[in-house]
């Protein structure tokens, strides 16, 4: 196992699973400049590591992420805020465009830009007591950190507008019903369940999972015909790998018994 630790963010790699922990619990894991830089560096390192086959995003303390640190934003000028968002966006882009499946362990509150961090995951586990929303307009701010780029794809345009135009905080059950998250776990078990999902991916056909993620995430950049061609190219390449050959043979043996 390898580890690296640097407040305000902690990350580690254990048997193919990278775990990235937002570590500003006193500020509900809200981003300031130091955490933004550490976030993007950790995302790049984990995605570039050939041994990392799945990544878990989690937060320390009683919340997953409250977005940007209002105390830091209040003392910053527009140029500084734009630059800060740009740094965090680099980390989000690194995760979303990678072939590494990302699982979020989003316990407690997820709000503002924290919703964008949640949307950077491909599978999200939340606590039974979790609350999820935007809350930007309450502070006279507009959505950032990929919220307008990803939210409508996740829940549909009308529901996305309900979140960005109101102070609605979804319950865990509502978030599942909307398709925003995958499942609900007891609050104390969110992290363990997310790591269990990540472990199943890392120990399974991780390359195929990663390519499936890439196909879904990158689809908006292609026409329908181009997407079909990319699917055909990808499955052909996957079928030639030793892992796929072994798994297909094992499946055939089981099905003929």
- The Cα–Cα gap between 47 and 43 comes to 6
Residue 18 lies in a domain: yes
- The Cα–Cα gap between 179 and 165 comes to 19
Do both 55 and 173 map to the same domain? yes
Do both 54 and 122 map to the same domain? yes
Number of structural domains in the chain: 2
Q: What is the mean predicted confidence (pLDDT) over 32-44? A: 97
Residue 4 lies in a domain: no
Do both 104 and 197 map to the same domain? yes
Do both 24 and 94 map to the same domain? yes
Do both 250 and 167 map to the same domain? no
Do both 197 and 219 map to the same domain? no
- The Cα–Cα gap between 111 and 133 comes to 5
Residue-wise pLDDT for 76-112, tens only, equals: 899 999 999 999 999 999 999 999 999 999 999 999 9
Residue 75 lies in a domain: yes
Confidence of residue 46 (pLDDT cuts 50, 70, 90): very high
Q: What is the mean predicted confidence (pLDDT) over 39-66? A: 97
Do both 220 and 104 map to the same domain? no
Residues 6+ apart with CB under 8 A from 167: 133, 135, 137, 138
Do both 213 and 133 map to the same domain? no
- The Cα–Cα gap between 5 and 24 comes to 13
Residue 176 lies in a domain: yes
Residue 240 lies in a domain: yes
User: Residue 3: what pLDDT?
Assistant: 46
Do both 112 and 215 map to the same domain? no
Using the 8-state DSSP alphabet, how is residue 52 labeled? -
> At CA 250, angle to CA 16 and CA 196, rounded to 5?
30
Computed over every residue of the chain, the mean pLDDT equals: 95
> Does residue 256 have a pLDDT over 90?
no
54 φ/ψ angles, rounded to the nearest 5 degrees? -160, 155
Q: What phi-psi label fits residue 16: left (phi over 0), alpha (psi between -120 and 50 degrees) or beta? A: left
Do both 149 and 219 map to the same domain? no
> Does residue 229 have a pLDDT over 80?
yes
Do both 174 and 120 map to the same domain? yes
Residue 118 lies in a domain: yes
Do both 148 and 189 map to the same domain? yes
* Contact by Cβ (8 Å): 123, 176: no
Residue 67 lies in a domain: yes
CATH number of the domain that residue 110 is part of? 3.90.226.10
Residue 3 lies in a domain: no
* Contact by Cβ (8 Å): 13, 1: yes
Per DSSP, the three-state class of 185 is: strand
Task: List the domain range (segments joined by +) for residue 223.
Answer: 206-255
H-helix or E-strand spanning residue 183: strand 183-185
Cis previous bond, 8, omega within 30: yes
Q: What is the mean predicted confidence (pLDDT) over 204-228? A: 97
The CA R_g of the chain, rounded to the nearest whole Å, is 19
pTM higher than 0.85 for the full model?
A: yes
């Amino acid at each position: 196992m390898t580890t690296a630790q640097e407040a305000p963010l902690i990350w580690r790699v254990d048997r193919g699973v990278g775990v990235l922990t937002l570590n500003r619990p006193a500020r509900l894991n809200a981003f300031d400049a130091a955490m933004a830089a550490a976030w993007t560096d950790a995302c790049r390192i984990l995605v570039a590591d050939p041994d990392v086959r799945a990544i878990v995003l989690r937060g320390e303390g009683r919340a997953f992420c409250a977005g940007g640190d209002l105390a830091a934003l209040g003392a910053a000028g527009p140029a500084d805020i734009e630059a800060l968002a740009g740094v965090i966006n680099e980390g989000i882009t690194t995760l979303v465009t990678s072939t590494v499946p990302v699982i979020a362990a989003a316990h407690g509150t997820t709000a503002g830009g924290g919703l964008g961090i949640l949307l950077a995951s491909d599978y999200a586990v939340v606590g039974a007591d979790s609350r999820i929303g935007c809350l930007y307009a309450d502070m006279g701010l507009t959505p950032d950190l990929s919220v307008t780029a990803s939210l409508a794809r996740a829940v549909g345009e009308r529901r996305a507008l309900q979140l960005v135009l109101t102070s609605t905080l979804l319950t865990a059950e509502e978030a599942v019903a909307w398709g925003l998250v995958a499942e609900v776990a007891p609050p104390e078990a969110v992290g363990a369940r997310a790591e269990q999902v990540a472990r199943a991916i890392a120990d399974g056909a991780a390359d195929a999972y990663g390519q499936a993620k890439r196909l879904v995430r990158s689809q908006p950049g292609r026409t329908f015909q181009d997407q079909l061609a990319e699917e055909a190219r990808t499955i052909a390449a996957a079928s030639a790998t030793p892992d796929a050959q072994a798994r297909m043979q094992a499946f055939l043996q089981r099905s003929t018994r």
